Every structure is written in C-alpha cells, then in structure tokens.
C-alpha cells in the first residue's frame, strides 16, 4: 500500500502546473519515467532478493521511495520532478515491489494465486487510499508539506514491514499440502537462462506486453477521455474510483479464480473479455451506466494480468529465483506502460478522438490471446532436467 502511493502522484499535478506553468503533457511524463524505473529495477531488486533475502531488498526500496517523496517537497524545476518522483521513487518501487510477491509465493504455495492477488491488490489500493488523503492535505497545508507527510508515513510503513519480513525455512510446506497433487507446486527452480530458453517464456512475454496496453492507455487518458465523451468533471473523478475498484478486484478475485481454474485459462478469458470490452467502451461511452460498467471491466482485466502473470511465473519456473525471473517477465509490462499512453496520446492528437486508440488496443489484446495459446502450463521436460531441483 505504501509503494502504491506512487500512483497518487496525479493529485499533485494541478498544483505543480499552476505554480510552475507546466503543461499536462510535461507533468504526465513522470508516470512514464516511474513505470520504466519500476520495471527495470524490479529485475535488479529481484536478483538481490533471491541472493540476499527480502529484508535488504525491502530496506533499499523503502528508503529510496521515502527519500524520493521527501526530495519532491523541494521541487523547483521539471527535471527535479522527473528525478525525484519519477526516478528515485520509481527505483525504490522496483526494489520494494518484488518482495511481497516473492515472499508471499513461498509462504503460501497452496494459495499462490490468491496471495499474489492480495499483494498486488494492496499495491493498487494504495493510490485509492492515499490519493484522496493527498488531495485534502494539499488543500489544507500545500503540496510541499503533503509530500513531506507522505514521505514520513511511507518511511514508517516500509520500515516496519521490512523488520517483519522473512522467507520460510528450507523445505517448508503448509500443513496438509501435497505438492504432487497441486497445480501450483512450482517444483522446478529454474534459472533465468533455463527460463529464457523456453518458448513459453517468450509467449508469455509477448502476451503480457500486448495484453496490458489496453489498461495503461485507458489509465493514462481516463479523465480527458471521460470529458471528451460528454461527462462532467465530477463524473470523470468518479471514473477514477470505479477504475480502481475494478483494478483491485481483478488482482484479487482473478488470483483466487486462477487457483481453481488454472492460470492460463484465467488469463485467456480475461484478455478475450478485454478485447471485446475496449471497442464497446468507446462506442457506448456517452451512456453513463455502460461507461462505468465497461470501464470497470477493462480495469478488472488489466488488474488480472498484473496478478496472474506473477503466479504463472512461480508455477512454471519455481520460487527460488522468482524475483529475478519474474522481473524479466515484468519488463513486458514496462514496455506496455510506455506503449499504452503513447498510443492514446498520439491517436488523439492525430485524429481528435480516441476511437482508433481503443480499436488498436483491442487488436493488440487479440494478438496477446493468440500468444497465450502458444504458452504451456509446465516447462518442457528437457528444460526441467537442466534446472536445479534443490530449494
């Protein structure tokens, strides 16, 4: 939840734009920088977590993230905004985000989908909790003091969490759990080189990269899209909350569903739903009820992917090197974090509406669906023999 405060940075943008005269295009780049840093440094944090454990990784992440927020209170240039909120907070987020997924997967292999869903759901809920708080604080004490208050809160939360974190003992199994009968046992602890030699990894990477731009595009353009659809500013604000509910629900509920119906089956279904929902959202955008329902569905499908891909990676390639392995897979989301917003912005500038952005995102989701049918739920036997089997 603390790291999820990063997605509440939009609460600061109106004040920063009013004080410094920056445009929305300029301030919005901070999210692009942040997503790129999160995806890149997740790989490095994942390696550190796998080799040195979760506490040092969480400590670095919490310190950098809190420091970024604190330094942001002294912003006086656009470059400083990018360096503090985008780069420093983004790097801290990359280190910190790896830990709950990796540690939770090891403690709860029998409920991995649900647990990872709860972890990333908490991350998504962070913006929903701290966003409104930040908005009220900005009105009461100003944006500089608000950055300082959030920095202090996040420092306390992440340091307490760091102290409590630890991996389970070697050979740990939940009571009554039989890995031989579990679809999520993750018995093969593959190295990154083993994983990269499999067709399944590249199929999942492509599916992740092409399936999530639908969500990142709508997230980046939601308020202007709602206003362009004829809705009021109040409705546009409510749309953010509706989207956050759908996003969080997708992360948690689909994580639980994937424990019972399979990871790839869940991903395929939700990507298919997203393929249909995206064009419908544009076509029916002026109908308020349809707008909210379809928006919630699109966010739900996006949240599903942020949750279930992590569990899928643990199932297929094991948990010993999960931090680094999933970090390599998460780079696909980093690319989507750039592709989606650029798609929405460029299409709107070129055509004056979002129609083709939604249709192109749906087409990308369809290609993602095809890639998911290439992926296999288990690693090929030949690759499995090369991987170490000890924990």
Higher pLDDT, 173 or 89: 89
d(CA 118, CA 355): 34
With cut-offs at 50, 70 and 90, classify the pLDDT of residue 180: low
With cut-offs at 50, 70 and 90, classify the pLDDT of residue 13: confident
Task: Tokens for 308, please give them.
Answer: 């279930």
Residues 268-285, mean pLDDT to the nearest whole number: 96
Domain boundary among 103, 133, 167: 167
Q: Mean pLDDT of all residues in the chain?
A: 87
d(CA 236, CA 222): 7
Per-residue model confidence (pLDDT) at position 148: 96
The DSSP secondary-structure symbol of 168 reads P
d(CA 325, CA 190): 9
Residues 234-240, mean pLDDT to the nearest whole number: 82
Residues 147 and 193 in one domain: no
Residues 237-255, mean pLDDT to the nearest whole number: 87
Most confident of 186-190, 333-337, 365-369: 365-369
Q: Which contiguous run of DSSP H or E holds residue 390?
A: none
Per-residue model confidence (pLDDT) at position 348: 85
CB-CB contact of 383 with 197 (8 Å): yes
Residues 201 and 68 in one domain: no
Residues 137 and 240 in one domain: no
Kindly report, residue by residue over 123-143, the tens digit of the pLDDT: 877 877 887 788 889 889 999
Residues 53 and 162 in one domain: yes
Phi, psi for 2 (deg, rounded to 5) = -65, -50
Residues 16 and 150 in one domain: yes
Sign of CA pseudo-dihedral 249, 251, 253, 257: positive
177 falls within a domain: no
The DSSP secondary-structure symbol of 3 reads G
Residues 296 and 192 in one domain: yes
Per-residue model confidence (pLDDT) at position 387: 42
Residues 106-117, mean pLDDT to the nearest whole number: 86
With cut-offs at 50, 70 and 90, classify the pLDDT of residue 383: very low
175 falls within a domain: no
The structural domain count of the chain equals 2
DSSP 81-127: HIIIIIIIHHHHHHHHHHHHHHHHHHH-GGGHHHHHHHHHHHHHHHH
The answer on pLDDT for 122 being more than 90 is no
Per-residue model confidence (pLDDT) at position 182: 52
- The domain containing residue 59 runs over which residues? 1-167
Residues 301-323, mean pLDDT to the nearest whole number: 89
Domain boundary among 135, 167, 199: 167
Closest CA to 381 of 258, 183, 204, 200: 200
Q: What Å distances lie between residue 330 and 102, 208, 244, CA to CA?
A: 13, 8, 21
Residues 6 and 148 in one domain: yes
Higher pLDDT, 101 or 279: 279
77 falls within a domain: yes
Question: End-to-end alpha-carbon separation of the chain, Å?
Answer: 30
d(CA 51, CA 199): 26
The answer on pLDDT for 179 being more than 70 is no
Residues 241 and 136 in one domain: no
Residues 14 and 50 in one domain: yes
Q: Is 284 exposed, middle or buried (0-12, 13-18, 19+ CB in 10 A)?
A: middle
176 falls within a domain: no
Residues 255-271, mean pLDDT to the nearest whole number: 92
CB-CB contact of 41 with 89 (8 Å): no
389 falls within a domain: no
388 falls within a domain: no
Per-residue model confidence (pLDDT) at position 386: 44
DSSP 173-241: --TT--GGG-TT-------HHHHHTSHHHHHHHHHHHHHSHHHHHHHHHHHHHHHHTT--HHHHHHHHH
Kindly report, residue by residue over 22-47, the tens digit of the pLDDT: 886 788 778 788 888 998 898 899 88
Residues 163 and 120 in one domain: yes
Residues 219 and 141 in one domain: no
365 falls within a domain: yes
The answer on pLDDT for 91 being more than 70 is yes
Sign of CA pseudo-dihedral 268, 127, 209, 42: negative
Write the CATH number for 212: 1.20.1250.20
Per-residue model confidence (pLDDT) at position 389: 37
83 falls within a domain: yes
Task: Tokens for 55, please give them.
Answer: 């506490």
Domain boundary among 167, 199, 227: 167
Residues 12 and 152 in one domain: yes
Per-residue model confidence (pLDDT) at position 17: 85
């Amino acid at each position: 939840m603390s790291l999820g405060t990063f997605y509440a940075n939009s609460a600061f943008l109106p004040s920063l734009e009013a004080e410094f005269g920056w445009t929305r295009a300029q301030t919005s780049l901070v999210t692009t920088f942040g997503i790129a840093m999160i995806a890149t440094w997740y790989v490095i944090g994942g390696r550190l977590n796998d080799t040195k454990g979760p506490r040092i990784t969480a400590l670095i992440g919490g310190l950098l993230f809190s420091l970024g927020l604190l330094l942001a209170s002294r912003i006086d240039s656009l470059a400083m905004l990018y360096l503090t909120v985008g780069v420093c907070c983004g790097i801290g987020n990359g280190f910190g985000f790896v830990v709950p997924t990796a540690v939770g997967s090891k403690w709860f292999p029998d409920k991995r989908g649900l647990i990872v869903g709860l972890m990333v759901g908490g991350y998504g809920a962070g913006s929903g909790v701290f966003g409104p708080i930040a908005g009220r604080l900005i009105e009461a004490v100003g944006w500089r003091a608000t950055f300082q208050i959030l920095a202090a809160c996040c420092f306390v939360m992440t340091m307490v969490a760091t102290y409590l974190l630890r991996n389970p003992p070697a050979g740990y199994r939940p009571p009554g759990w039989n890995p031989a009968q579990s679809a999520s046992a993750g018995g093969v602890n593959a190295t990154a080189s083993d994983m990269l030699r499999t067709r399944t990894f590249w199929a999942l990477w492509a599916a992740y990269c092409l399936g999530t731009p639908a969500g990142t595009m709508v997230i980046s353009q939601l308020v202007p899209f709602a206003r362009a659809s004829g809705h009021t500013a109040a409705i546009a604000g409510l749309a953010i909350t509706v989207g956050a509910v759908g996003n969080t629900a997708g992360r948690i509920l689909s994580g639980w569903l994937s424990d019972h119906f399979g990871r790839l089956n869940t991903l395929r279904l939700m990507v298919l739903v997203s393929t249909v929902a995206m064009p419908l959202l544009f076509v029916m955008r002026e109908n308020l009820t349809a707008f909210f329902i379809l928006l919630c569905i699109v966010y739900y499908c996006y949240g599903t992917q942020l949750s279930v891909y992590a569990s899928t990676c643990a199932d297929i390639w094991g948990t010993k090197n999960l931090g680094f392995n999933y970090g390599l897979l998460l780079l696909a989301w980093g690319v989507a974090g750039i592709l989606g917003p650029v798609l929405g912005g460029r299409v709107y500038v070129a055509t004056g509406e979002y129609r083709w952005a939604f249709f192109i995102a749906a087409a990308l989701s369809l290609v993602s669906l095809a890639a998911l049918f290439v992926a296999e739920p288990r690693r090929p036997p030949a690759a499995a023999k090369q991987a170490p089997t000890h924990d």
